[in-house]
Chains A and B, each alone.
Chain A
Amino acid sequence: MSAEDALAETRRVGAEQLRAVWKRPGGWRRLSSVNNSDVGRWFAFACLVFMLTAGVMALLLRVELATPAQDVLSARQYNQLYSLHGSVMMFLVAVPIFEAISMLLLPAILGARELPFPRLGAMSFWGFALGGLFVIGSIFFDAAPDAGWFMYPPLSTQVSGVGSDVWLLGLGFIEITSIAAAVELITSVLKVRPPGMRLNFIPLYAWYVLVVGAMVIFAFPPLIAGSLLFELERELDMPFFDPTRGGDPVLWQHLFWIFGHPEVYIIFLPAIAITAMIVPTVAQRPIIGYSWIVLSAVGTGFLSFGLWVHHMYTTGLPNISLGFFSAASQAVVIPTGVQIFAFIATLLAGRVTRSTPMLFIAGAFAIFVAGGLTGVMVGLAPFDWQAHDTYFVVAHLHYTLFGGAVLPIIAGIYYFYPLITGHMLSDTLGRWSFWLIFIGFNVTFLPMHLTGLIGMPRRVNAYPAEIGWQALNLVSTIGAFVIAAGFAVFVWDLFRSKRDQPERPRNPWNAGTLEWAVSVPEESWGVRSVPEISSRYPLWDEPEIVGRMDRGEFFLPDAPTGHRETLITSVLDATPSHVLRVSGDSFVPILAAFGLGGSFILPVFKLYWFALASGLVGIAAIVWWHWTTTAQPPEKNARDAGMGLTLPVYVSGPSSTGWWATWITMLALLTAFVSLVFAYFYYWTIWPVFPETTPAAAPHWGGLALLGVAWGLTITGLKLNQRGHAASFRAAFVTAFGCALAGGALFQWAPFAAGMDPTVHAYPAIVFVLHFWITIHAALGALMLGYCVAKSWDGRLTRDYDADVWNTLLVWHFTLGMAFVAAAVTGLYPGAT
């Protein structure tokens, strides 16, 4: 056998191994797939279905408003429908579509096999699907949320029925799954890049994923904290927003909009990210101003957190506060403008090929710039006092969302469709659908600016005939149906049979980025081998690269141990650091999602014990999947990764992806905690006299001390284990386990011991919540300690294989930090004022 034959044989064997390892389960078992391309497709499909549902709701709303006193819907139905339309579009379409698209494309864009935590991704999809169906389904039982998508109390807490619980618990669960998805995506961009993809080569899409992921980590927790307070008020009568007992409805508005405004950019930036992938391809040249776009992404990410009060200009806050937020609202326009001009500059410098994606991008520019300009107007407080809560704002937000999300996403679907399905969409139908949507959109929403300025408030189901709003409303309704027709064409194009089409060309748009190098015909391994790159547009600059990838000349061309693997690299210069074994297909993520989902959904029906049981099932499922698949000691901690490089397959601590994910998750939990502390001090600013009761000193400081001991023992345990003292390590962790539970319980009991009843006043209530937050973290820390001990006993956590211990320690760092702050605030602060 010649050397050449031997090489061919090795490659054939490698391909066979990969094919076997990445084989998709067949039949109904397909549902157990956790592969990013399956889950990503389901995710995107679910978003599309939810979007069409919410679109139909919008049509019903427009029919009701077509004439002054239509009676198609009752006021109750109208209110439920508009509340759902907003909530579904925001929480079930706009935000998750980013996660769906990223899950689908990010590994390809990064030349990777898989995302680092496939089961987490699958769980987050199933949780999303369950929560989404639950929230939408409520409309059929006359039980949908009916207080608007921002759910202002006291209307939502004291007047609304079960719809408020549906909103809070259903969407609260989805927020948590969104954070899970963000953790996975951030870790991917930081650690799962192909060798050679330095910071200055990262595709712009991935930069945006990083920024948006970070925004999710900081923006969603305030809403989760708010939802916690909200649900405690509804279920346990703790008066956080009830002014008769010291609460304040405006606190909810702060917490909601601290989430709500960044959320607008969480929706907008991914669409810009898609644009940033399409524009260079269309112009057939590298983007101009790469660093400028990175600047805009990061800058917008920061500035967007300084805008929230501009949704509260009419709540009677002092002018000075409004002034600050007005200033920030103007400042955020600058990075947005930079992005638009970077695209224009690129188009100017390149040779533009006309295509359907470009048509949608061009339409998006026109609409988004208009929406941005009306945004500048409403950002100015005096103007907003007039326009706030009117159809002017309705028009403004739809201009930004269509221009800044819907149209670029459709452009992205036209652009990436061949990559995802292997077929092209029709240019003719694309043009039809574009012009219908574009014209319909402007017919619907352009008149609304005027409707709002002449006095029509939003959220009304009827209006007097004699004040001149009728013609404008009728025009808007007609436009809405034109948009619907455009979407019908688009959806038809998506799903019509394309069997008679030939297989797509490998790189139909002649793009320069790695995602167009995935294997054709599609293989579930994604790429045959993980490439090493040396430029920003490898497919343009390194003509050999696709062939070499296909021949398996790069990294990980085989799977000798039968594990699914992907390559992990360093953050700055993407030098290979280790090979990560990712978990395979399983039904456990579904069980985990449904178990946890049940613990959110069942309380709506007051089935508290079932909710508890369901939550325990969910937690058990998660523990089980970690126990059986994550951080398993390998047979041999070395793997020939290809290209003459041997890499470890097990790492722990800061080099491991699991440690990074834990870090990011804890950051989100810390943000939620900061939001609760913010609530505490917010009450301090509004109460003329601050209560002086403190939690009972002995359990308060004793509890904190015990948590401190647990933390110290965790550090000691880690060191002991590193030195190979397994028995003492276990002893330290078992003691820490006991201290954690006892400390948490004492700390929780402290306010009650001082007679602080959380239902009497908002003060004991907020103290209760701060303590409760610490207690659940102590419980989480205890669970992880116990897990480490059990795994050590089982012989799978040893001196060399100690990733779980590192992650546990990280959780304890955060837990003790939060406990310390909480104890200081509730124990010391009242006396100091």
Chain B
Amino acid sequence: MFWVVLALSIVVWLAVIGVAIYAMRRNRDIASDHTGLWLILGGGVIIPTVVLSVLLVWSLGVMPTLREPSRPPALVVEISAERFWWRVRYRDANLVVDSANELRLPLGEPVEIILTSPDVIHSFWVPNLAGKMDAIPGRTTRLLLEPERVGRFRGQCAEFCGTSHAQMAFAVEVMPRAGFDRWIAAEARPAVPLAGAVLFETHGCGACHMIRGTAARGTAGPDLTHVGSRRTIAAAALPMREADLIRWIAHTEDVKPEVNMPSFAMLPRRDIEALATYLLALK
């Protein structure tokens, strides 16, 4: 659709500007009032009316197909957009899985995204997959995705939501059905028991974060049960690397101003490193 409209626009632009330049350069007055009025009627009324009507009919025809699933969605993902991250909950036929800041989708199947927001207006957008849809406090909005090729994409918030709006992104991975099933089964399991869980708890991280299978049961921040398997940290603000994890834990405010998570620079360096190692190990 885009290319057709673009080509059409270029043709129209060249035609109009061509006539205009011709009109300015030509210096003999052949044209009379009559010719002028016919030009206005033809160029200003008839041609635009015909072209625009065709475009309108065409776009109206396309609209339902982009918003209504051709068959029942294989998967429903509830996403809550929050300043400045994404709470993600997969609802399959028989399981509910919580995650955050990353979206995995099965290839070639319709997926319905249900959007809400507890604070301000955000907008969910994966440019490579579909148009955008706002997440509005007090309302529930829906978006249909039907990815056509496997790959990794970037999604982001498209409605200005405050100071760190630019750092509110997420990673998307489209994978074949079999791989998706394996992944979601793993995502549904509790975290592997590791020694770092104790440190996580003593420093109070569990007050906000959930790590299923440990004592950390907070729900204010992102679920970190399998955080180590994600590709990014802090809603795609940083890549998932140990050095960046350390930087994030110690200096949240530098990476994402006005983020809810406080900076933990006051912790002993050793503890921060241990926490980073622990989180990376939560595959």
Contact = CB atoms under 8 A, between A and B. Distances in A.
Direct A–B touching in the complex (beta carbon < 8 Å)?
yes
Nearest to A467: B154
Nearest to B115: A316
B157 interface: yes
Could you say which interface size class chain A belongs to?
Answer: 35 or more
A485 interface: no
Contacts of A292: 37, 40, 44
Given A159-B120, A330-B55, A362 B20 contact: yes
A455 B56 contact: no
Contact of B31 (A348, A374, A376, A385): A348
B263 interface: no
A584 interface: no
A656 to B, nearest CB: 39
Given A314-B131, A314-B133, A330-B55, A319 B64 contact: yes
Contacts of A146: 163
Contact of A461 (B53, B121, B141, B166): B166
A333 B35 CA distance: 22
Nearest to B142: A316
A559 to B, nearest CB: 43
Interface string A364-393: 011001100110110011111110111000
Contact of A333 (B48, B121, B130, B139): B48
A322 B56 CA distance: 12
A643 B29 CA distance: 40
A345 B136 contact: no
Contacts of B133: 314, 316, 385
B52 A334 contact: yes
Interface stretch (B10-18, B90-98, B242-250): B10-18
A384 B67 CA distance: 14
Interface string B113-156: 00100011101010110111110111111100000000000101
Contacts of B5: 376-377, 380, 383
A76 interface: yes
Contacts of A248: 138-139
Contacts of B176: none
Contacts of B120: 152, 154-155, 158-159
Contact of A463 (B32, B159, B161, B166): B166
Given A75-B166, A75-B257, A334-B45, A326 B16 contact: no
Contact of B59 (A350, A381, A388): A381
A342 interface: yes
A235 B102 CA distance: 39
Contact of A381 (B17, B63, B138): B63
B158 A390 contact: yes
Interface in B262-277: none
A580 to B, nearest CB: 38
A727 interface: no
Nearest to A385: B131
Contacts of A620: none
A314 B66 CA distance: 13
B23 to A, nearest CB: 4
A333 B52 contact: yes
Interface string A768-806: 000000000000000000000000000000000000000
B132 A386 contact: yes
A351 B137 contact: no
A370 B63 CA distance: 25
Contacts of B121: 152, 154-155, 249
Nearest to B60: A323
A60 interface: no
B123 A389 contact: yes
A497 interface: no
Nearest to B26: A348
B132 A385 contact: yes
B77 to A, nearest CB: 16
B141 A455 contact: no
B162 interface: yes
Interface string B31-51: 111011101100111001100
A342 B44 contact: yes
Nearest to A463: B166
B131 A243 contact: no
B37 A289 contact: yes
Interface in A243-259: 243-244, 247-250
B185 interface: no
B193 to A, nearest CB: 35
Contacts of B131: 314, 382, 384-386, 388
B24 interface: yes
B202 interface: no
Contacts of B160: 79, 147-148, 152, 155, 458-459
B137 A243 contact: yes
A362 B43 contact: no
Contacts of B257: 74-76
B63 A322 contact: yes
Interface string B49-87: 100110110011011101100000000000000010000
Contacts of B26: 348, 352
Contacts of A159: 83, 119-120, 162
A337 B44 contact: yes
B20 A344 contact: yes
Interface in A61-118: 74-76, 79
Nearest to B59: A380
A369 B17 contact: yes
A663 interface: no
A454 interface: yes
Interface in A455-476: 455, 457-464, 467
A358 B24 contact: yes
A155 B162 contact: yes
Contact of B138 (A158, A249, A285): A249
Of B26, B45, B119, most A-chain CB atoms within 10 Å: B45
B105 to A, nearest CB: 17
Contact of A341 (B9, B44, B53, B63): B44
A366 B17 contact: yes
A338 B1 contact: no
A340 interface: yes
A327 B63 CA distance: 13
Given A249-B137, A344-B19, A382 B66 contact: yes
A685 interface: no
A428 interface: no
B27 to A, nearest CB: 5
A241 to B, nearest CB: 9
A205 B183 CA distance: 67
Interface in A607-638: none
Contacts of B137: 154, 243, 249
A345 B35 CA distance: 8
A87 to B, nearest CB: 14
B165 interface: yes
Contact of B20 (A285, A331, A365, A454): A365
B139 A243 contact: yes
A339 B59 CA distance: 26
Given A75-B164, A349-B36, A334 B48 contact: yes
Given A75-B164, A333-B52, A373-B12, A385 B37 contact: no
B124 to A, nearest CB: 9
A383 B1 contact: yes
A347 interface: yes
Contacts of B17: 365-366, 369
A288 interface: yes
Contact of B159 (A75, A322, A345, A389): A389
8 contacts: A79-B165, A285-B29, A319-B63, A337-B45, A340-B44, A344-B19, A351-B27, A373-B13
Given A289-B40, A389-B159, 15 more contacts: A75-B164, A152-B160, A243-B139, A322-B63, A341-B44, A344-B23, A344-B43, A348-B19, A352-B25, A362-B21, A385-B130, A385-B132, A386-B127, A462-B167, A464-B154
Report the 6 A-B pairs with minimum CB-CB distance, sorted nearest first.
A243-B138, A385-B131, A316-B141, A345-B36, A455-B127, A288-B36
